[in-house]
């Protein structure tokens, strides 16, 4: 009997030795490496967005790392973002941009980003996003009188933007400003009827005092001067209009491309009927989310990388015996930096 046990042990020994080394510890959503990747991803998203506002990180929802060789990894991220008050043309660094509060009617962005890390250098390969405003019901529950986002092509919004820009140009001693895009618009009905608008503008080659503004053109790219206006129009109980505009000054390399033909006066077709500029318009590469499709998981993941599957939320439990002192992988999704909507 003893001989048999010894024999079995002898036979098993080489088999045990053949078991591959455990995969490297998986990344949790709040690990510094995950945060570094998310920062690169968010910078990329903002610098490749052409309309609306800058977004900031709220939560890292998921991360998956696929080693590709000694110094190369492919990283897939799922990110939850929130809209800030900085327009995409604003020179304010993202760190200084304020997140839209819940009561300001927050807009959330969901992004899948594919990155590569080569010799420690991160770069983005593909991004796929969509963004949507929080539901009005959510806000009204907490704040029944809060103004709510309305569609960008709403008649009252268009009238308010046109009037605001006319009033501003009428009083301005600077350049005559033209509208680039309406960024967002909110409406309040109680206790007063108020329209709140925000819009991006650009300086033309005319002064606002000039009579023939029809012949005014936006400054060429090497002199461009973008800006941003906010206006509040009270319609009831008594009429009032407040307009503030700020020009950012020329920013070398920053350009603006119109989002296509305006079909209804001021608002281009792609945003008609919507309350926000959708990140999807600038970020729509299906390669960004290939890791999270089931086909990809099945074919690309090594069978033994149980820990990584757990991180990706596919397999939270497994039957592989764990060594004593096993520490479960850090959780995903990670922490919420601002608020959950
Ligand atoms: C951004 O914030 C930092 C730290 O508060 C401040 O020093 C810096 O001047 C700000 N930059 C801008 C452009 O507002
Ligand atoms: C602005 O530019 C347009 C086109 O180049 C030109 O026709 C117009 O005269 C310019 N206006 C002024 C005030 O320079
Ligand atoms: C805004 O656009 C939507 C979608 O094209 C359209 O159905 C709606 O009538 C438009 N609203 C106004 C006020 O033009």
Alpha carbon 84 to its chain's center: 9
Mutation pick for ligand 2 pocket among 203, 213, 214, 216 (CB with most ligand atoms within 8 Å): 216
Question: What pLDDT is recorded for position 331?
Answer: 82
Q: Partners of 84 in the beta sheet?
A: 99
For residue 207, give the ligand 2 atom closest to its CA.
Answer: 13
Domains of the chain: 22-135+284-316 (3.10.450.10), 151-250+264-274 (3.10.450.10)
**Residue 113 scores a pLDDT above 80:** yes
Residue 340 and residue 108: Cα distance in Å, rounded? 9
**Section 326-330 average pLDDT:** 63
Question: What pLDDT is recorded for position 254?
Answer: 94
Matching residue, tokens 């998921």: 62
Of 314, 280, 326, 284, nearest to 109 by C-alpha is 280
Residue 62 and residue 252: Cα distance in Å, rounded? 36
Contact of 22 with 326, CB cutoff 8 Å: no
Contact of 146 with 131, CB cutoff 8 Å: no
pLDDT band at 160 (very low <50, low <70, confident <90, very high): very high
Question: What pLDDT is recorded for position 268?
Answer: 74
Question: What pLDDT is recorded for position 239?
Answer: 95
Residue 331 and residue 61: Cα distance in Å, rounded? 10
Mutation pick for ligand 2 pocket among 212, 217, 219 (CB with most ligand atoms within 8 Å): 217
Question: What pLDDT is recorded for position 1?
Answer: 46
Question: What pLDDT is recorded for position 295?
Answer: 43
Of 29, 45, 33, 36, nearest to 113 by C-alpha is 45
Q: Note the pLDDT tens digit of each residue in 161-195.
A: 999 999 999 999 999 999 999 999 999 998 899 99
């Amino acid at each position: 009997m003893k001989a048999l046990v010894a024999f079995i042990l002898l036979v098993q020994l080489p088999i045990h030795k053949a078991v591959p080394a455990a995969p490297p510890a998986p990344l949790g959503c709040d690990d510094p490496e995950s945060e570094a990747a998310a920062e690169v991803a968010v910078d990329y998203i903002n610098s490749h967005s052409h309309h609306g506002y800058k977004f900031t990180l709220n939560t890292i929802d998921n991360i998956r790392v696929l080693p590709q060789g000694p110094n190369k990894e492919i990283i897939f991220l799922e990110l939850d973002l929130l809209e800030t008050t900085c327009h995409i043309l604003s020179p304010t660094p993202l760190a200084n941009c304020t997140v839209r509060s819940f009561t300001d009617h927050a807009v959330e962005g969901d992004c899948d980003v594919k990155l590569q890390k080569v010799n420690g250098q991160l770069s983005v390969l593909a991004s796929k996003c969509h963004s949507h405003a929080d539901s009005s019901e959510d806000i009204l529950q907490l704040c029944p009188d809060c103004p709510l986002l309305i569609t960008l092509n709403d008649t009252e919004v268009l009238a308010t933007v046109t009037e605001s820009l006319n009033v501003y140009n009428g009083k301005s001693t600077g350049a005559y400003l033209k509208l680039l895009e309406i960024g967002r618009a909110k409406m309040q009905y109680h206790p007063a009827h108020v329209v709140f608008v925000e819009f991006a503008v650009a300086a033309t080659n005319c002064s606002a005092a000039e009579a023939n503004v029809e012949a005014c053109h936006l400054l060429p790219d090497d002199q461009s001067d973008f800006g941003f206006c906010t206006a509040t129009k009270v319609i009831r109980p008594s009429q009032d209009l407040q307009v503030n505009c700020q020009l950012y000054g020329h920013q070398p390399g920053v350009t603006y491309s119109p989002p296509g033909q305006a079909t209804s006066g001021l608002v281009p077709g792609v945003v008609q009927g919507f309350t926000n500029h959708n990140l999807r318009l600038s970020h729509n590469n299906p390669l960004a989310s290939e890791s999270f499709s089931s086909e990809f998981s099945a074919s690309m993941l090594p069978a033994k990388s149980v820990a990584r599957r757990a991180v990706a939320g596919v397999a939270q439990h497994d039957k592989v015996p764990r060594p004593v002192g096993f520490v479960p992988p850090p959780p995903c999704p990670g922490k919420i930096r601002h608020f959950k909507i």
